[in-house]
Amino acid sequence: MINFLQGNDHNSILLKKYNQLENGIAFIVFIGLVIFPATDFLIREIIRPIIPTLSKIPASQTIVSHLTLMVGFAGAVIAARENKLLALTTTPLFGSDDLRGIGSHIAKWMSICVVLALAIGSLDLVLIERSVQYPVFVAPNVPRWVFQAVMPLALFLIGIHLIIKSKKTFLSLTGLFTLFVLIILIVSQDYLRETTLVLFLGMISFVFAIANGAPIFIVLGGIASFLFWYDYTPVSAIAAEAYRIVVSPHLATIPLFTLAGYILAESNASDRLVKVFRALFGWLPGGTPVVILLLCGFFTALTGGSGVTILALGGLLLPLMVKEGYSRNFSLGLITATGSIGLLFPPSLPLILYGVTAGISIKDIFIAGIMPGLFLILMVSIWSIWKGKVESVERHRFNWRKAFQICWETKWELLIPFLVLYGIFGGHAKLVETASLTVVYIFIIENFVYRDIVLKDNIQIISSCATLVGGVLIIIGVAMGLTSYLVDAQIPMLLLSWVKMFVSSKYLFLILLNVFLLIVGCLMDIFSAIIIIVPLIAPLGIHFGIDPIHLAIIFIANLELGFLTPPVGMNLFLSAYRFDVRMPVIYKSTFPFFLVLLLAVLFITYIPELTLGLLH
């Protein structure tokens, strides 16, 4: 089959057309996701006051939630095809000639088996939903199972892509078949469920797989599947939980704000914003690092991922720093550290996901994150300004006329933060509508005002965005399945009882929480960490009298720092990959920033007024 799909020119053309079909589906669904909320807002706020009889789109909010499901799984299929499923290693497991040895083969076999198991479990959910006597309708005459069918279809396609990208060796195919048969034999033996050794070996196998480059969603889904099997629970429970979290009302903001950030990153907005910030802050000793802090915070707050900021802006910012006279080590450290500096500012996607997971007000989290976010920037700015004096970097003179001219030329992009904040806090638009209007606004100014982007290029931009969004949303989905098992097994309550036995002081708990979250931050991506860890620590926070909003900011701030925590912080790997330098160089360059941010995170943790001041 693999040889047939990759063999001759005719088949290659068919494969190319099929890939274009996948991209086209993701593009159309994404466009629908943008249009529905924006249209609802226009009808309610602008058209209905003129034409009172006009009604909104029927079941619009429910349709948007289910379009999010489709975008997530369609994007995950493209991510599998393009070797962009999120993993803890920089070299992709599938389709790479650099991976040799039995370890990579085993990781591939396990990945394919887990994907097929998840696909079968999702298909089981769809068949159950389809067989009920009184189906739930998402929209008029559209039953829920029609949208749920996207999950097994996408997972089967992901499995096919992974098989095609596997090595065409006898060892790979024979090993895959052998492992698949072995797994069937194991899961069919009920007596093995009573054996703790089987559970231990299963967990070790998944740790081995992720260390060898298996995608994060596959490992989380595999662990969840294994635990559900061990507990006599159908694997379809994972699909049910994935569906539930992905169609939650606020989750559509993740793909929408990410798309807004992607369009900005593909335009010349970063060049214009650099000129603005240099004109305003270039007179400072360390003005250029302050510019980079503000710029990276802006992009990270929109895209929600430090990786996007480092990969998209690194090529512009590193030469700029070196040209200004800063050492390469300091420049590398600054760009790596500031890749996640904006995660506490609205409309940060991790803050939104935390609010959804913990069931607390997203607006309150946004307000609470402003002061701690500014404090992080202030601390790094002080260090950068001192460094600028030490390295005797040449400063620019402040010119009011030039600064005003540059700001005026960039006025449409400088309005974006105000548009977002007004949408969130103004009371006229819902959060998803704000995200949708932000996409429409940025699309118009970059395509028609500044004309940085040709219209046909938007197809590729949306496809690339769907790839990242798919990789994130599918992680959130399977992580929710794992969380469901942990909650059903009363792990949070057991953890609370254990902590009560050994920890009596609130401040000792906060110290242990800092250490724990730093470890989590360097071993897990932020989205799956929120889904899995928040239900575990939320009861502990309540027990020790920590405000839930303060706990949210502590959590995100610590995970920001976890991105820089050696040896496997995510930003460290991404920076090494982007700038083609060895990991020891990255460790050395980021260590001073790690210490500065660590001090700032401790202030945020132990001074709750810094977080809660704007809420009172």
Q: Which pLDDT tens digit goes with each residue over 54-74?
A: 777 777 888 999 999 999 999
| Residue-level length of the chain | 616
Flag whether pLDDT at 195 surpasses 80.
Answer: no
Q: What is the pLDDT of residue 310?
A: 76
Q: What is the pLDDT of residue 4?
A: 43
Flag whether pLDDT at 169 surpasses 70.
Answer: no
pLDDT (mean) for 560-580:
77
Between 453 and 569, the higher pLDDT residue: 453
Query: Highest mean pLDDT range out of 91-95, 373-377, 398-402, 488-492?
Result: 373-377
Q: Of 91-95, 168-172, 342-346, where does mean pLDDT reach its minimum?
A: 168-172
Closest CA to 269 of 308, 293, 295, 294: 295
Contact 117, 235 (CB under 8 A): yes
Flag whether pLDDT at 1 surpasses 50.
Answer: no
Between 233 and 611, the higher pLDDT residue: 611
| The two structure tokens encoding residue 427 | 């009371």
pLDDT (mean) for 79-83:
89
| Main-chain phi, psi angles of 351, to 5 degrees | -65, -40
The 10s digit of each residue's pLDDT in 83-124 is 888 887 767 777 655 555 677 777 888 888 899 889 999 999
Q: Of 101-115, 498-512, 582-596, where does mean pLDDT reach its minimum?
A: 101-115
Confidence band of 5 (pLDDT split at 50, 70, 90): very low
Share of the chain above pLDDT 90, in %: 26
Q: What is the pLDDT of residue 308?
A: 65
Share of the chain above pLDDT 70, in %: 88
pLDDT (mean) for 268-285:
79
Q: What is the pLDDT of residue 154?
A: 95
Contact 534, 555 (CB under 8 A): yes
pLDDT (mean) for 457-480:
89
Mean pLDDT of the chain: 83
What DSSP string runs through 106-165? HHHHHHHHHHHHHHHHHHHHHHHHHH-SS--EEETTEEHHHHHTHHHHHHHHHHHHHHHH
Q: What is the pLDDT of residue 125?
A: 93
Between 8 and 210, the higher pLDDT residue: 210
Confidence band of 247 (pLDDT split at 50, 70, 90): confident
Flag whether pLDDT at 585 surpasses 60.
Answer: yes
Between 187 and 147, the higher pLDDT residue: 147
Between 576 and 548, the higher pLDDT residue: 548
pLDDT (mean) for 407-413:
91
pLDDT (mean) for 578-588:
82
pLDDT (mean) for 204-221:
86
Q: What is the pLDDT of residue 178?
A: 59
Ramachandran quadrant class, 369 (left: phi over 0; alpha: psi -120 to 50; beta: rest)? alpha
What DSSP string runs through 228-242? HHHTT--THHHHHHH
Q: What are the angstrom distances between the C-alpha of 290 and each of 233, 278, 280, 388, 506?
A: 53, 9, 10, 11, 36
Q: What is the pLDDT of residue 294?
A: 81
Contact 309, 276 (CB under 8 A): no
Confidence band of 134 (pLDDT split at 50, 70, 90): confident
The 10s digit of each residue's pLDDT in 523-544 is 777 888 899 999 989 999 999 9
Contact 222, 114 (CB under 8 A): yes
pLDDT (mean) for 231-236:
85
pLDDT (mean) for 143-155:
93
The pTM of this model reads 0.84
Confidence band of 568 (pLDDT split at 50, 70, 90): low
The Cα–Cα gap between 246 and 249 comes to 9
Q: What are the angstrom distances between the C-alpha of 352 and each of 20, 346, 522?
A: 32, 9, 21
Query: Highest mean pLDDT range out of 177-186, 312-321, 328-337, 445-454?
Result: 445-454
Flag whether pLDDT at 305 surpasses 80.
Answer: no
pLDDT (mean) for 112-137:
89
The 10s digit of each residue's pLDDT in 291-302 is 788 888 877 877
Q: Are strands 142-143 and 137-139 parallel, antiparallel or unpaired?
A: antiparallel
Contact 257, 349 (CB under 8 A): yes
